[in-house]
Chain A
Amino acid sequence: MRTIHIDQIVKTIEQLCIDANYYINDDIMEELNKALKTEQSQIGVDIIQNLIKNALMAKERKIAICQDTGMAVVFMDVGQDVHIVGGNLIDSINEGVRKGYENGYLRKSVVGDPIERVNTKDNTPAVIHFNIIEGDRIKISVAPKGFGSENMSSIKMLKPSDGIEGIKKFIIDTIDIAGPNPCPPIIVGVGIGGTMEKAAILAKKALLRPINKRNDLNHIKEIENDVLKKINMLGIGPSGLGGRITALAVNIEVFSTHIAGLPVAVNISCHATRHADATI
């Protein structure tokens, strides 16, 4: 049994909120640079260049890459041999978010009740996903999610007979409808299988995987590659002004499902697919 004080959790989450919002991860920067060579539209190339410049400026000045600093999504993989002391774990996660958004000069974008819609003014509460793992450590990922892209996401309960072609069609149609709204070039997280909520969480988790790393399963990797190729034939292009590069990557995660079902969730994210991770 290892003891972890909540103060350490608060501090870690505060820093992760700030880091995730200031610094674009290397895998995304690499793909943006590659996209400069494949984009055929001049205005598309200009936009990608500006996104790269924007990321470098955010890093240098330590400011947010994008003004939509998101709703904080926190993945907590808690080792089963960890003993948390000093207070309530959920409160400490939210305290870390509160401090990170305040001290990092990040935008507060959360309303307390979805109907009454009054801003909570500190970007809490976070959306928290707990997972129990082996060991005596806690692995934390903070993934701030912007809603320009979140709003264009979709979930569908397909029939098993819809098969691979049905899955591909649903993903591509979702991107086509989204058009310019989610700030292309986008990153597409897909969850296939499980139940409705499991598919949605898988889709969100898929966005945490480096975008240059394909799924280990060969038949899933093939779907990722083929769907990406087809998405980039849609013509939407950077900022939706027309071009080759509509998406930088398609990341798919799968889970077992019911004999009667084929849930598919498509979580769209922008080039500002942010996450910062730490293990304590």
Chain B
Amino acid sequence: MKYSIRAPLTKEITCNLKAGDTISINGYIYAARDAAHKKMIELLDEGKELPFDIMDQIIYYVGPCPAKPGAIIGSAGPTTSSRMDAYTPKLIQHGLKGMIGKGLRSKEVIDAMKAYSAVYFGAIGGAGALIAQKIVSEEIIAFPELGAEAIRKLTVEDFPVTVIIDCHGNNLYDIGKNKFRKIN
């Protein structure tokens, strides 16, 4: 199915999405990758607040290129999600509802997604120039010292993703591969 959804999400939205659905996202999402995740978990471990209210939000695993003069943002495609796996279950427990990235997720992440109705979306790895055109505003909201890894609030219009793992644990990577596999 093809859907257009608004971010932040709700449980009603996430529970309706199925692995394989193609989605365009409108609204705002947060950019965060390795170093920002490490810092967010440190804040939670110290009993402090996160730099933004994570309830129902989508995190996009991305570290964009600098914007050229006149542009909003440089190339901004997804980075490999599995590096965030160690931190993700805790963020899901705190309300995170969606993640955009590329590549495999751990069992712990998928279990947390099932328990808290979160969704994992895939964007096209390697299409950073194209994807950047769907980002209409960018604001660094935390950890500016991390450069490309700072947390950014991004406004997106018709941002194209595919549901990879839905909140029931169905996984498009397995489904797709099994359909075309001819070797053991």
Contact = CB atoms under 8 A, between A and B. Distances in A.
B144 interface: no
What bracket does the count of chain B residues touching chain A fall in? 35 or more
Contact of B183 (A67, A121, A234): A234
Contact of B124 (A50, A69, A243): A50
A196 interface: no
Given A67-B76, A151-B80, A242-B179, A271 B104 contact: no
Contacts of A63: 65, 68, 71, 74-75, 129, 132
Interface stretch (B87-95, B151-159, B168-176): B168-176
A241 B122 contact: yes
B79 interface: yes
Nearest to B74: A105
Contacts of A105: 65-68, 74
Given A105-B67, A107-B63, A107-B65, A64 B128 contact: yes
B27 interface: no
Interface residues of A, number: 51
B65 A64 contact: yes
B148 A243 contact: no
A236 interface: yes
A242 B147 CA distance: 35
Contacts, number: 167
Interface stretch (A9-17, A177-185, A215-223, A259-267): A177-185
24 contacts: A50-B127, A54-B127, A57-B129, A57-B130, A58-B75, A62-B68, A63-B68, A64-B128, A68-B77, A105-B65, A107-B75, A148-B79, A179-B103, A179-B104, A180-B103, A180-B125, A233-B183, A234-B177, A234-B181, A234-B183, A237-B176, A239-B125, A239-B162, A240-B177
Grouping DSSP codes into helix (H, G, I), strand (E, B) and loop, the A interface class, with mixed when no group exceeds half, is loop
A38 to B, nearest CB: 12
B102 A180 contact: yes
Given A51-B127, A105-B67, A183-B102, A242 B180 contact: yes
Given A109-B63, A148-B102, 17 more contacts: A47-B124, A50-B127, A62-B68, A66-B126, A66-B128, A67-B75, A105-B68, A107-B64, A107-B74, A108-B147, A119-B148, A180-B104, A183-B126, A240-B103, A240-B176, A242-B179, A242-B180
A105 B179 CA distance: 41
A119 B67 CA distance: 19
A239 B128 contact: no
A5 to B, nearest CB: 30
